[in-house]
Structure 1
Amino acid sequence: MSTFYWSAKTFAVAPATRLLFRPWVKGLGNVPAEGAAILASNHLSVSDSVFMPAMLKRQVHFLAKKDYFTGAGPKGWITRKFFEATNQLPMDRSGGEASLRSLDAGLEALREGRLLGIYPEGTRSPDGRLHRGKIGVAKLALASGAPVVPIAMIGTDQAQPIGRTLPRIRRIGMIFGEPLDFSDRAEGVTDARVLRAVTDEIMEAIRRLSGQEYVDAYAADVKSGRVPAPPRARD
């Protein structure tokens, strides 16, 4: 754990999170005390990457949008240095082969026995529902043999909805589910059908924890308008 990360988390981020947002947490013991694991979470708010690691003793390495590492000028430099200091890993989110190749940094972190945080939806939910997962999480799980801990963030979209710069002071929650073991399907790491099935199992585990309505469409496509947002299920 880097000195910057440990200091910021221990003396600033974690105390502020506990004091201001009074998070309730279930299943924290499901996160391994040592060794590699993939923390696969729903994604409701930009603050998810702050709130969740604040509750863990171990450092979480997140796959971060690569644009944060390539910005120009003083602001770009500061942003890049911050993400490097906190050991964030650049991720190409354009899709296809480029995205799969950029998973290599995450795979290396797992092989080093670290915790890797990933949002299988690929971006924040545009409507509070859980959207179709991208297969990168399955590829990482099968290639590394690491267990997948499904996580549900609760109410973070109410604390900091899309478009809001600073979060509102309100209570949030998170649930850590039992680890999922896919080591028996390691040989399917190059089989698209196996990767899709594993991804769908992970998303279903997240859905059961979060209670969200599931949408069988990618969040990025719904957000951009490339596909119409499916109507909400009736109660």
Structure 2
Amino acid sequence: MFYWFMKRVMVGPLLRLVYRPWVRGVENVPVDGPAILASNHLAVIDSFFLPLVLPREIVFIGKSEYFQGAGLKGRVTAGFMRGVGTIPVDRGGGKASEAALRTGLRRLNDGGLFGIYPEGTRSPDGRLYRGKTGVARLAIESGAPVIPVAMVGTNIAQPIGRRIPKVMRIGIVIGEPLDFSRYRGMESDRFILRSVTDEIMYALMSLSGQEYVDVYAATQKARLASGHARPVDGGEPATGVPLAPGGRPAPEVHVPVPPEDDATPSVG
């Protein structure tokens, strides 16, 4: 109830009016049944705009810090995250992360939509980073299709460190479902998990037009903090040919642009 109240009465109408989000491919989201929406992650507001353009409720994993804030602001943030069904996850890994994935699996087994950011954290520089294999485990164990989603422009509206996004159009491109049912029962095979994850990230790269970097985003953030602006290989092999997930040559991609008709979608 709180989810729909926030979407249709409180937050949703304001976001539509101010940011005029545009979306392509919403027809790729099934009208019922389980599905995993795997998205690139550019800004905190990704988790606001994707639900806004979907006609169905979607639940995300969110970092546990959102639920642990102090004071009025912390309580309001925690209450909002719980109200929209966000599942807290300890990004340090271990048992806490496993518990979050189990919760996501239950959501899928109940026939719902589950949103996940395979990169594990926001991109520090707008590029697409190596995916973590949790999304592959969910897909193989649940049998649910994976729907790649590219958020467009949210990092420009809300770069890291900025609380209130600047006013500009936000885009969402939803790709065709990916079926991994052929790997049923192989969720413990780390090579299969990496292959499936790379296939998902390849789809995200193709949709978003982002440059791919074959290191984890958290690793790159640590390098930036220590004064290293780019990873050692920069996501490119010695040949100078840009890489795609799985070590393949990068496809020719373009960053999506808003539709020419400047109309605001009425989805959701």
Report the TM-score when normalising by structure 1: 0.92
Once residues 129 and 18 of structure 2 are traced to their aligned partners in structure 1, the CA distance between those partners, rounded to angstroms, is 29
- Specify the code of the residue in structure 1 equivalent to 2:52: A
Note the residue ranges of structure 2 that are not aligned, 5 or more in a row: 243-268
Q: Which residue of 1 aligns with 2:207?
A: 209
CA distance in 1, matches of 2:141, 2:203: 20
Could you tell me which residue of structure 1 aligns to residue 138 of structure 2?
Answer: 140
- After TM superposition, give the deviation of residue 147 of structure 1 in Å: 0.5
RMSD over equivalenced CA pairs, Å: 2.0
> Are 1:11 and 2:9 matched, yes or no?
yes
The superposition leaves residues 81-118 of structure 1 with CA deviations (integer Å, 9 ceiling, x where unpaired) of 32222111111211355423431111111111111110
Q: Secondary structure at the match of 1:102?
A: helix
Check conservation: 1:25, 1:175, Cα contact below 8 A. yes
Partner of 2:184, secondary structure, is helix
SS at match of 1:25: strand
Matches within 5 A, 1:16-55: 16-55=14-53
* Structure whose alpha-carbon radius of gyration is higher: 2
Q: Which residue of 1 aligns with 2:128?
A: 130
What is the aligned partner in structure 2 of residue 157 from structure 1? Answer: 155
Q: CA separation of 1:157/1:71 partners in 2, compared to 1, >3 Å: closer, same or farther?
A: closer
**What residue number does 1:166 align with?**
164
Pick the structure with more helix per residue: 1
Identical amino acids, percent of aligned pairs: 55
What is the aligned counterpart of 1:69 among 67, 70, 77? 67
Give the corresponding residue for 2:101: 103
Q: How does 1:171-210 map to 2 (within 5 A)?
A: 171-210=169-208
* 3-state DSSP of counterpart to 1:87: coil
C-alpha distance in 1, partners of 2:216/2:37? 20
Question: What's the offset of the Cα at 1:13?
Answer: 2.5
> Which letter does structure 2 place at the counterpart of 1:47?
I
In 1, the alpha carbon distance for the partners of 2:235 and 2:213 equals 9
Kept after mapping to 1: 8 A contact 2:87/2:100: no
CA contact (8 A) 2:120 2:217 kept: yes
Q: Is the 8 A contact 2:212 2:235 kept in 1?
A: no
SS in 2 for 1:149: strand
Distance 2:87 2:95 in 1: 17
The amino acid across from 2:213 in the alignment is V
Q: Residue 116 of structure 1: SS of its match in structure 2?
A: strand
> What's the secondary structure of 1:187's corresponding residue?
coil
